[in-house]
Copies of this chain bind each other. A is one copy, B any other.
Amino acid sequence: MGELIFIGLGLYDEKDISLKGLEDAKRCDYLFAEFYTSKLTGTDISKVEKILGKKIKVLERKEVEDGEQILKEAEKGRVGFLTAGDPMAATTHVELRIRAEERGIATRIVHGSSVFTAIPALLGLQHYKFGRTTSLVYPEDKFFPTSPYYVIKENKERGLHTLVLLDIDAEKERFMTIREGIDILLEMENRLKEGVISDDTIVCGVARAGSKKPIIKAGSILEVRDFDFGPPLHTLVVVGKLHFMERKALETFADLARENRSV
């Protein structure tokens, strides 16, 4: 029987893969990838193929959900399934791994760097000061989910920061910007009026985490909304209570104004 190896490509470009991931990918008979749950914006598929020395078949959402192509190849040989970040962030990946095991295919994970730890690291915010993570999706006609508002509320009540992941619509090559994300948060406040987001709420924006020059800015929500972060990917953090060293880090690395004492 074969093997299915979930290989994390990390954050930004083709050089974020680990040496272990590179070795494993080179030893695979067949490589698949998906870039609809996250994307390496600092590279393209041909550069990833070049570094791995192998062709990669990029799958659409439907094909990963169906999973048959991947599982059939993995029954015959050693298959690598490449994703940005640390693998298994999507339920579909977990489901695929369960199905593989049920068919007697051995599975393994090769970890990669991830936005979950890169964002706190870049901002100098402590991991254990983060509550649960939330994500914002592009609102559609009558679909305007407000659960992120309550996640932020719950975290803030405990003094915790909230990592806010921004939507990716890979098929439309649409990546939610920090500005769009903030507009959604402001609209949530406007509708729900529980005082979670106010004009002086401190947020941090990070663009292109993992690149050599990520852009980072902390400030009031309106200040950050109007800041030019450049191209995707963008990530947002709503700040809870700041420890002295966290405040100093935001002042040093994210240009937080010293007079901004609202948290």
Contact = CB atoms under 8 A, between A and B. Distances in A.
Category for how many chain A residues contact B: 35 or more
A95 interface: yes
Interface in A1-49: 8, 10-11, 13-20, 22-23
A81 interface: no
A143 interface: no
Interface of A: 8, 10-11, 13-20, 22-23, 51, 85-89, 91, 94-95, 97-98, 101-102, 108-109, 111-114, 116-118, 120-122, 124, 126-135, 154, 158, 160, 209-210, 212, 245-246, 248-249, 252-253
B18 A113 contact: yes
B128 A98 contact: no
Contact of A108 (B91, B118, B132, B212): B212
Contact of A23 (B15, B86, B210): B15
A133 B124 contact: no
Given A114-B114, A212-B108, A89 B127 contact: yes
B102 A10 contact: no
A252 B160 CA distance: 33
A94 B18 contact: no
Nearest to A108: B212
Given A15-B18, A15-B20, A113 B134 contact: no
Nearest to A101: B252
Contacts of A118: 86, 109, 111
Contact of A11 (B16, B111, B122): B111
B88 A120 contact: yes
A133 B127 contact: yes
A200 to B, nearest CB: 24
Nearest to A8: B113
Contacts of A15: 18-20, 23
Contacts of A131: 131-132
A93 B154 CA distance: 29
A8 B102 CA distance: 35
